[in-house]
Amino acid sequence: MKKYALPILMVTIFEIVAVVLWLTKDNIFYLFNFTYIGCAIALGMVLFVKRYKHARRIVQLLVGLYMLVYLGLICRENMQIEGFWYYLFTGVFEAATIHYAVAKIFGPLIFGRGWCGYACWTAMVLDFLPYKVPKAPRKKIGWIRYITFAGSLIFVSALFLMKVGNLERIMFWAFLVGNILYYGVGIALAFAFRDNRAFCKYICPITVFLKPMSYFSLLRIRCDTDKCVSCGACRRVCPMDVDVTDNSRKRVNGTECIHCMECVKNCPKGALK
Ligand code: SF4
Ligand code: SF4
Ligand code: SF4
């Protein structure tokens, strides 16, 4: 039972959120939504425990497609950062704001950047590209994320300041165009830098929330230094260039860890967990 503790914890956390939101918002959608996401994540964890090699990808597809197709395209909810600003400015604490609070702002205090490894629909596509492990050194251009972050805020602020009408419709189109841009830029960068996760490392505005919060993450990969033989295998397979052998919070690229578990699977000494 002990090896299933984490999936049970994950289901429990999501179920608490589901029930609290269902009752406080008087909307059964939240019960369905968070139960579905919690179960999908827990299923992936169970598959991982059973050493199924595509466990993470299954969760990514289950959650990513649900959010992109069902919430985004069918329910017409802008779940990108522009949607977050939009609902925040209108004072509506509904889907996109709750999604950001749970997955990207406060949730990372518990599960770090689990969102990036198991749920993001942008990375869901990028992870199919050929450069799963970066083939070139990391670039010092992470500052671009602050420009895209500011750009999204300025775009939505301008719509409100100019009192543009029919904002719901504009936000839906912003969602479509935003996603096409993310995929286009993400795929181009992956090939240019020979790194599937280049978009995550340099461009994604959401990392402005994710990185500082995940610094304090409760769930972290830890290294048993007595078992570690410094072979470097964990570093070589890491898509995010994290030095996971350092247990301190200041480990190199520590706030980039997406909990993909590649390091754990490839450690020859079983030193990581
Ligand atoms: S960094 Fe951005 S694009 Fe990459 S997985 Fe996380 S949220 Fe998605
Ligand atoms: S793969 Fe394992 S043994 Fe090798 S450096 Fe990493 S933690 Fe140490
Ligand atoms: S390989 Fe390990 S350290 Fe790197 S992102 Fe995946 S879980 Fe995190």
> Distances in Å between the alpha carbon of 186 and those of 156, 197, 232, 243?
22, 8, 28, 24
Q: How far are the Cα atoms of 3, 71, 73, 132, 175 from residue 81, in angstroms, in the given order? A: 36, 14, 16, 26, 9
CA of 245 to the centre of ligand 2 (A): 7
**CA atoms 201, 206, 208, 212: torsion sign:** negative
User: 193 and 62 in one domain?
Assistant: yes
Q: Are 18 and 30 in contact (CB under 8 A)?
A: yes
* Pair 52, 59: CB distance under 8 Å: no
pLDDT digits (tens, 9 = 90+) for 35-59: 999 999 899 889 988 989 899 999 9
Token duo for residue 30: 């939240």
Q: Given ligand 1 and candidates 57, 82, 84, 116, which is best to mutate, with the most ligand atoms within 8 Å of its CB? A: 116
Whether ligand 3 lies within 6 angstroms of the CB of 267 is answered as no
Q: For tokens 């072979």, name the residue.
A: 231
Last residue of a domain, one of 214, 231, 261: 214
Domain count of the chain? 2
Over residues 219-261, the pLDDT tens digits come to: 999 999 999 999 999 999 999 999 999 999 999 999 999 999 9
272 lines ligand 3 (CB under 6 A): no
Average pLDDT value for residue range 210-226: 96
pLDDT value of position 9: 87
Residue 232 lies in a domain: yes
Whether 64 and 102 map to the same domain: the answer is yes
- DSSP structure class, residue 223: B
CA distance 113 to 109: 9
Co-location of 94 and 141 in the same domain: yes
Q: Which domain holds residue 235?
A: 221-273
Tens digits of residue pLDDT in 148-181: 999 999 999 999 999 988 999 999 999 999 999 9
Rounded-to-integer distance, Cα 204 and Cα 104, Å: 12
Query: In this structure, is residue 65 part of a structural domain?
Result: yes
User: What's residue 4's pLDDT?
Assistant: 85
Of 116, 262, 264, the one to substitute when testing ligand 3's pocket (max ligand atoms within 8 A of C-beta) is 262
Minimum-distance ligand to the CA of 48? 3
CB 81 within 8 A of CB 206: yes
